[in-house]
Structure 1
């Protein structure tokens, strides 16, 4: 009997390493996000860049309703700059989060960071002008959500700059991550929309002709006004700081689920929207 007890005690029981699982979950999420955002960036440069250089501005309206309005050169300039600068954000953003780039190329990281923050502020201001002056968004609740989103971006950008200048780098990184999450809101919206369309086999909860409905309202709220991505990030910060096993595992599971949903949405968006327009 004692022999059996000793054998049982000597056996190694596998123990989950919660911090490592959390790190792996976050790394997996970043890898999938990077691939998805870079595909989106190539699509922006290919579709909008080529049509702009060719003077075929009316092509914008194939994707962006009322993106180009004949005779409104000021508004068209705002839209064009807004869209093309978005490519800087989706291509440059993930580069800022890759540890190896930060450590090996600190000067590049600093200059890209300045460009990213400045671009984010300009894109947000341009977005505010677009949604309140163009007819593409005609639902007040979505206008309010997107406006709130722009305020997040500007506020987080200023805080990231403040802590970088104060050389409080941990706080700077946290606010930079928050900024990345809210800047990625438009991308998240597209990816989650395509995920929803794919799993439902078509539009459910909204009218594709008017682009209105409860699903789109809810998606706008939880992508822009009360970003789920930001909530998950705060859970990640808390888990990293406190290292509670159960909370870390729950957070890891949520990040893994979010990564799978994003992966499906990225695939759907790439095959259904982006790839067909990359020439």
Structure 2
């Protein structure tokens, strides 16, 4: 982006619109993910501590949560679910520029914790689909494997960039890691957005679920790449188009997050 373009009225408008759409997405995501954190802690926390694993059956969307006699598998599933809650909380804090700028030591230690937890989430996910066979669908298992591979790869690349003090590259890899680590949340949000688009009738959800098991990983990454390209430069019209697209995506995400949150809260009643 040239200096003239950034100082032109249309260029300045495009920059403000792009920044505003990113803030709208982030605030919406954080609210939804922290509601997800509340559900995870409230639903899985007490049952895990008390050993009441059969209580998970209240969530009819779980493919294979509790299995009688499989103590190791049940504990791994509980750990995987609780790790997702930590990811939802710690990941949002990690991408906040205010935290990074004002408390860099907190940012570094939270980042290290996030990397460890994200890698634990990836490994436990692989165990659940290939050893415990939590997801009977081959496509779902392959999607989980892809997600785990991307988490491990992005974690390594983010760490390497930070150690090399290439903070611009570190930010990009950290954002990608944040998205793929929250694939479980995007999966649920997308599913409920689809159901709402069907008027509340679960028509074709099985096929959509198979497609979205990859989409919940790849679509957020694609949107991020388009955003980063628009942010780095280009015509004001392209930045305005990206801002409008991100705003529209956020509205869909918000609808799905509301639907998923209401469903989650109904399980706690």
> TM-score, normalising length from structure 2?
0.91
Per-residue deviation, residues 227-247 of structure 1 (Å, max 9, x unmatched): 111011001111111242122
More moved, 62-71 vs 94-103: 62-71
Shift of the alpha carbon at 1:34? 0.3
Distance 2:10 2:230 in 1: 18
Structure 1 segments of 4+ aligned residues over 3 angstroms from their partners: none
Per-residue deviation, residues 158-178 of structure 1 (Å, max 9, x unmatched): 111111111111110110001
| Counterpart in the other structure of 1:26 | 22
More moved, 130-139 vs 28-37: 130-139
Query: In the alignment, is residue 223 of structure 1 matched against residue 221 of structure 2?
Result: no
Shift of the alpha carbon at 1:276? 2.0
| Counterpart in the other structure of 1:62 | 58
| Counterpart in the other structure of 1:265 | 256
| Counterpart in the other structure of 1:77 | 75
SS at match of 1:263: helix
* Structure showing greater Rg: 1
Shift of the alpha carbon at 1:80? 1.6
Shift of the alpha carbon at 1:61? 3.1
Distance 2:186 2:164 in 1: 31
Matched ranges for 1:207-222 at <5 A: 213-222=206-215
Call closer, same or farther: CA 1:99–1:192 in 2, change over 3 Å: same
Distance 1:71 1:109 in 2: 41
Matched ranges for 1:174-253 at <5 A: 174-200=172-198, 201-206=200-205, 213-224=206-217, 227-253=218-244
Preserved contact between residue 42 and residue 278 of structure 1 (Cα < 8 Å): no
Give ranges in structure 1 of 5+ residues lacking alignment.
Answer: 1-13, 207-212
Preserved contact between residue 19 and residue 243 of structure 1 (Cα < 8 Å): no
Distance 2:136 2:164 in 1: 42
More moved, 93-102 vs 115-124: 93-102
SS at match of 1:262: helix
> TM-score, normalising length from structure 1?
0.88
Per-residue deviation, residues 128-185 of structure 1 (Å, max 9, x unmatched): 1101233431111121122111101110011111111111111101100010111111
Give ranges in structure 2 of 5+ residues lacking alignment.
Answer: 1-8
Distance 1:234 1:158 in 2: 19
Distance 1:237 1:85 in 2: 28
Distance 1:253 1:143 in 2: 34
